[in-house]
Amino acid sequence: MGMTVAEKILARAAGLPAVAAGDVVEPKVDLAMSHENAALVINQFLEVFEGTGLPPKVWDPSRVAIIFDHRVPAESPKTATNQKKIREFTAANGIGKFHDIRGDVGGICHQILPEFGYVRPGFVVVGTDSHTTSHGALGAFSFGIGATEMASVWSLGFAVNIEVPETIKVVVTGRFPPFVSAKDLILHVIGTLTAQGANYKVLEFHGETIRKMNTSGRIAICNMSVEAGATSGIVPGDEETVRYLREESGVTDEINCVVPDADARYIRTLEVDVSSLVPQIACPHTVDNVKPITEVLGTKVQQIVIGSCTNGRLDDLAIAADILRGRKVAVGTRMLVFPASGRIFAQAMEKGYVQDFMKAGAVVMNSGCGPCLGVHEGALGDGETALSTTNRNFKGRMGNPKSEVYLCSPAVAAASAITGVITDPRAN
């Protein structure tokens, strides 16, 4: 029996000729990523070495990446002290893939990793963040782990007791209609599978539509695969993967794409024709509560958010800026825009998108995860409603359990900002 992409990657990383779903392996890790929660990992990591007489050193500093992105700049002495602790640790351990709070090389972790070429096809990537699934967009097996598990990886260089997951094949065909995008596709998939429909499984994306999709769109669909319960989302590496890594990430060394065997076993095949897809909205308070936009038109919103690791890349900002150009955000509606990285922020300035947003009345913020989590900037008031391009709408997700969050694409967010209610961009 042939192997899926995830099985092939795990077999290589575990030093085995083949693996199958249900096998338990200990794969070597190619990249281990954390953000500010690295402070928790450090505590666990130091405990590992207590009483050993050995210096607490990570197994391979070149394979560890730490990116500040959740509370940037620090909003409290506690956060600032934790960040100071991490800075000291990275310096002591020679961790070069450290991205501090900077306008030039800073940004959201799930944008920084592909942007700087830290992820490659065939890699095993672990991260102390559930949306580590994002990096399957580059053909990696990428998944989230906890602080204790990450401390173990830092010590050993491999992940312990990993069960090889089953794989669902998602075949996407057709051409996206105007104002319909990858975000609408993944919301539709999550709504179809439900929030638990892919629990501890891999979503492996195929089809002509995926092959024609740029890396930005692929990141969006892999990023949100976890919202269907998936351990990882994977797009098999192809010409677009190589193009992105060469042209946008500056990778010059060998790139080896991993593709599934023709006789690979899938537990299910889900087929989606995007030709008939309309803008999708995830309604409160679960991501799988997905409805076509026609069912929620006219819903009043007090805050519009565009950005995040899901939809904060340059093409996302371009779509929104084009809709907003020469128009104004509705009175009584706030609009926040936060690009996914400092590099994207600079590119958006060069393209004039930042000026378009600000002239329309939007507030353009530094790169970070604060508005998405509601832990730093852009919290909602009691009874308020947000429409956001982020990836979760759980109760309290954007800072207030007495508010509601709807999820959408950048096109829907921008069109709705102009009217102050959920608006179909196709009628704009």
Give tens-digit pLDDT for 42-55: 999 999 999 888 88
258: Cβ contacts below 8 Å, ≥ 6 apart: 5, 8, 9, 121, 122, 139, 236, 237
Q: Determine contact, residues 136/223, Cβ cutoff 8 Å.
A: no
Residue 81 pLDDT class (50, 70, 90 cuts): very high
Average pLDDT over residues 407-416: 98
Looking at residue 37, what is its pLDDT?
94
**What's residue 398's pLDDT?**
87
300 with 421: CB under 8 angstroms?
yes
* Separation CA 158–CA 292 (nearest Å): 43
Domain layout of the chain by residue ranges: 5-272, 280-427
pLDDT (tens digit per residue) in 85-96: 999 999 999 999
> For the residues of 24-88, what is the DSSP string, one character each?
EE-PBPSEEEESTTHHHHHHHHHHHHTTT-S----S-GGGEEEE--SSSS--SHHHHHHHHHHHH
CATH topology classification for 280-427 = Aconitase; domain 3 (3.30.499)
> Rounded mean pLDDT of 111-125?
97
Model pLDDT for residues 199-231, shown as the tens digit of each residue = 999 999 999 999 999 999 999 999 999 999 999
Say which range, 171-185, 251-265, 320-334, 367-381, has the weakest mean pLDDT.
367-381
Domains 5-272 and 280-427 are alike in CATH topology: yes
Q: What is the structure's pLDDT at 384?
A: 96
Enter the pTM of the model: 0.95
Q: Which two tokens stand for residue 415?
A: 């069109």
Averaged pLDDT for residues 186-201 = 97
Question: Is it true that domain 5-272 has CATH number 3.30.499.10?
Answer: yes
For residues 212 and 180, the answer to whether their CB atoms sit within 8 Å is no
pLDDT of residue 399: 86
CB 196 within 8 A of CB 229: yes
Specify the pLDDT at position 336.
Answer: 97
The pLDDT value given to residue 53: 87
- pLDDT digit string (tens) for 331-385? 999 999 999 999 999 999 999 999 999 999 999 999 998 888 888 888 899 999 9
Distance, in Å, from the CA atom of 230 to the CA atom of 216, rounded to the nearest integer, reads 20
Model confidence band, residue 181 (pLDDT cutoffs 50, 70, 90) = very high
DSSP letter (8 states) at residue 246:
I
In this prediction, residues 280-294 reach a mean pLDDT of 97
Q: Please give the Cα distance from 31 to 88 (Å, whole number).
A: 20
